[in-house]
Amino acid sequence: MKKKNQASATNRYLVIGLSLFCILMMVLSSFSDVAGGPFKVLANVTVIPLQQGINQVGGWLGDMSDNFETLKQVRSENEKLQEQVDSLITENNYLQSERYELERLQELYQLDSNYAEYEKTAAHVIGKDSGNWFSTFTIDKGSMDGIEVDMNVMAGSGLVGIVVETGPTWAKVRSIIDDSSNVSGMVLSTSDRCIVSGDLSLMSDGQIRFEQMENNENQVSVGDQIVTSYISDKYLQGILIGYVSEVTVDSNNLTRSGYITPAVDFKNIQEVLVITATKAEMTGENQEE
């Protein structure tokens, strides 16, 4: 009962306090010219800074919303630009591939023109043995296309090798850099004959070896052309093998030997020309190498 009376007394005091506050506000309002100053000062200290802070927060939130929208637009534009870049890269790669193929075909055309006396057919390389060099490889034409064993194969600026095996739609070529290859060659300017021997261990220096060249009064110099010899059993005469890069007299003082820079890039062969007649067919002979 005592607690109830205390609560009632507290409520009364609260009502009286609020009533007095209202009366005070009414009195002060009647003296607005006098009391306006303190109210304005109070407003300047409390309400206005609060309002300014709310405005700044609202402005910041608005800027954030604009920034997010701008970010979305930038991302969308970036995706479109990336698609354009990818498309341009693909197109550029295609054009580069087309240009390289055109250069190779122009090279083959020039090679075909240089040996116009021989009938030839073009073929693509479709396989090779392991290793960095095209010592033996497979082309996409075979017996159904008229390809036969012992036909000469060219690429780049000269001789690649010879056909050693055929199937209906493919043929295997052994190049002149293969360890088992021996080609009868000669110096174009002097007709001095030599044997050009394949040696894959020399290809890291971009060379093949020649030997058994007679040591005579004929001068053989660096840069001289070595071509296939007229006495070769299987290679047609006059096909460029490469250029002399070094020549020395052997210890027997009877012969000379040295190195040749090949006319063909044996690290990258994609297309070849096959001369569609063997030397035996052209000479009417059937000799073995």
Average pLDDT over residues 52-67: 63
Indicate the range of 53-62, 133-142, 230-239 predicted with least confidence.
Answer: 53-62
**pLDDT at residue 79, as a whole number:** 79
**pLDDT at residue 161, as a whole number:** 96
Check pLDDT > 50 for residue 151. yes
Indicate the range of 2-11, 79-88, 182-191, 198-207 predicted with least confidence.
Answer: 2-11
- CA–chain centroid gap for 187, Å, is 39
Q: How far is it, in rounded angstroms, from Cα 278 to Cα 236?
A: 8
| Residues above pLDDT 90, as percent of the chain | 53
**pLDDT at residue 61, as a whole number:** 59
Q: How far is it, in rounded angstroms, from Cα 54 to Cα 209?
A: 90
Check pLDDT > 90 for residue 188. yes
Higher pLDDT, 34 or 198: 198
Average pLDDT over residues 20-35: 54
Q: How far is it, in rounded angstroms, from Cα 263 to Cα 258?
A: 16
Higher pLDDT, 283 or 212: 212
Higher pLDDT, 3 or 16: 16
**pLDDT at residue 284, as a whole number:** 78
Average pLDDT over residues 207-228: 95
**pLDDT at residue 288, as a whole number:** 42
Higher pLDDT, 162 or 45: 162
Name the strand (E) or helix (H) holding 70.
helix 47-114
Q: List, for residues 93-132, the tens digit of each pLDDT value.
A: 766 665 666 666 677 778 788 888 999 999 999 999 888 8
CATH code that applies to domain 120-278:
2.40.10.340
Place of tokens 């007394």: 9
**pLDDT at residue 133, as a whole number:** 94
One-letter identity of residue 25: M
| Residues above pLDDT 70, as percent of the chain | 70
Burial 102-141 (b: 16+ CB within 10 A, else e): eebeeebeebeeebeebebebbebeebeeeebbbbbbbeb
Count, residues in the chain:
289
**pLDDT at residue 287, as a whole number:** 47
Q: List, for residues 229-262, the tens digit of each pLDDT value.
A: 999 989 999 999 999 999 999 999 999 999 999 9
Indicate the range of 44-48, 67-71, 236-240 predicted with least confidence.
Answer: 44-48
